Amino acid sequence: MWQWVVARCFPLHRRNAISVGAPDVTLLKPLKGRDENTAACIRSWLTQSYSGQVQVLFGVASADDPVCELLRGLMAEYPTADARLVLCDEVLGTNAKVSSLIQLLRCAQHELIVVSDADVFVPRDFLANVVVPLGDRSVGLVNCFYRLANPTTLAMRWEAVSTNADFWSQVLQGQSLAPLDFALGAVMATRRKELDKIGGFEALADHLADDFQLGNRMVNLANKSIAVCPVVADCRSAPMNWREAWTHQLRWARTIRVCRPLPYALSIVSNATFWPLLWVLLQPEEASLWTLAVCLFIRIVTALSLQNRLGRIAGLWWFWWLPPVKDLLQCPLWAASFFGNDIVWRGQRFRLQRDGRLVESFSNSQFKGSSPET
C-alpha cells in the first residue's frame, strides 16, 4: 500500500511545454546485434521533436555486427539527422557497454550527454522533457522510469510484474525516505563536466551496475542530486523463455545484492504473498485464511493498478493472477542470489566481486550464439 500511494502521488507522464532554444545534446547509444524491435527503437531517437541540436552516436564493437547495415539504412532514411556510426573496437574494461561509452564520448560535440540502452524506445518529446531538470545546477543526473513494453511470453509477463509494477514504485518508496543516490540505466542525462568530476566513464569500466555507480558517484563525489523525469521510456526486448528470464532476474538480483546488501537482504520481509501463505500453512485457521485473502486481494489490485499507470499493455487483465506467483518465485530467486556470484551478461559469463566489479570467469566461446542482453 505504501508503494501504491507514493506511486499514485508521483506526476507520471506529465509533460513540459517544448521550448525554443533548448540546449544542444549528444546521445550515446551502444548497440550489439539486432532483433525485430531494434529499428523502431533507433528511429524513435532519430525523430525527436527537439529545438536544439541533437548529435546521435551509435557505437558497435565490430564492423561485422548485423546492426551496422540497419544503421546505415536508417541514417540514409533520415539524412538531416546528425547521426554517426562509431566503431568501438577497443576493450577498455569488462563492461562492454561502458567500454563503448568511453569511445563514443571522445566524439561528442555537446555539453549535455544522454545515454540510452539499445532496446529503449522513447516518445517524440522525450528529449525535450528529460533535459529540463538539468536547468537546475544542483541536479547532476536525470533518469526516467521504464516499462517492459512487449511481454510476448508468459515468462516475460512474470518479469513485467517486477518491472512495471514493483520496481518503479519501490524506487519511489525509497525516495520517500531519502534522496536517490543511484541511477536507473535505461536512459540517463548528465553534463560532461559532472562526468569529469567522477572520473568519467573510465571509472565504471569494470562494474556491472554502471548505472548505479554513475548515480552514486554523482551524489557522493560531484555533490549533485538525481532527478526523475516523469516521461516513461519503453524497453522492447526480444522474446525470452523461462530460463532466459530467470537468468536475467538472477543477474539483476545479484547486482542489487552487491550494490545494496542490507536493504536487499531485508527486502524479503515485504513479500506480500509469502508470509501470509506461510501463516496459513503453519496455522490453518480462520484468522490466517482471512489475512491471506485480504493480502492477495490488495496485492493483485495494487499490482494491476501500478502496471496500468506506468503504461497499458495488451492482455494485462488476463494475467491478474501473476503478482502472487511472482512473489512466490521471488523467494527462491532471493535465496539463489546469495549462493554464488556468477552471472551471464551479453552472452558471456562473469564473476561478480564484492565491490560490484566484473571478472571474466570462463572462456566465452562456450556462450557463442547466446542472446545478447543490453
How is residue 341 written as a grid cell?
556470484
pLDDT of residue 356: 80
Say if residue 307's pLDDT is above 90: yes
pLDDT of residue 154: 95
Q: How far apart are CA 297 and CA 101, in angstroms?
A: 45
Q: How far apart are CA 23 and CA 300, in angstroms?
A: 43
Rounded mean pLDDT, 319-330: 96
Identify how many contiguous H helices and E strands the chain contains and give both numbers. 14, 11
Q: Tens of pLDDT along 16-47?
A: 866 677 899 999 999 999 999 999 999 999 99
pLDDT of residue 314: 85
Say if residue 276's pLDDT is above 70: yes
The CATH classification number of 2-11+22-240 equals 3.90.550.10
pLDDT of residue 373: 41
Q: Tens of pLDDT along 154-190?
A: 999 999 999 999 999 999 999 999 999 999 989 999 9
Query: Strand 25-30 and strand 54-60: pairing?
Result: parallel
Lowest-confidence pick of 6-20, 49-63, 77-91, 154-168: 6-20
Q: How far apart are CA 228 and CA 182, in angstroms?
A: 11
pTM of the model: 0.91
CA 32 vs CA 59, 81, 224, 370: distances in Å: 8, 21, 32, 12
pLDDT of residue 349: 82
- Which residue in this structure is represented by grid cell 500500500? 1
So where are the chain's domains? 2-11+22-240, 245-367
Residue whose C-alpha is closest to residue 149's, from 230, 237, 229, 231:
237
| DSSP label at residue 371 | P
- Give me the amino acid identity at 271: N
Where helices occur in the chain by DSSP H, the ranges are 2-9, 38-46, 67-77, 96-105, 126-130, 154-160, 168-175, 192-197, 210-220, 242-259, 261-266, 274-282, 286-310, 322-336
Q: How far apart are CA 253 and CA 268, in angstroms?
A: 12
pLDDT of residue 371: 41
Q: Tens of pLDDT along 105-158?
A: 999 999 999 999 999 999 999 999 999 999 999 999 999 999 999 999 999 999
| 8 A C-beta contact, residue 327 and residue 299 | yes
Q: How far apart are CA 32 and CA 10, in angstroms?
A: 34
Q: Give residue 362's pLDDT band: very low, low, confident or very high (50, 70, 90).
A: low
CA 9 vs CA 12, 53, 165, 176: distances in Å: 8, 34, 15, 11
What is the chain's mean pLDDT, rounded?
92
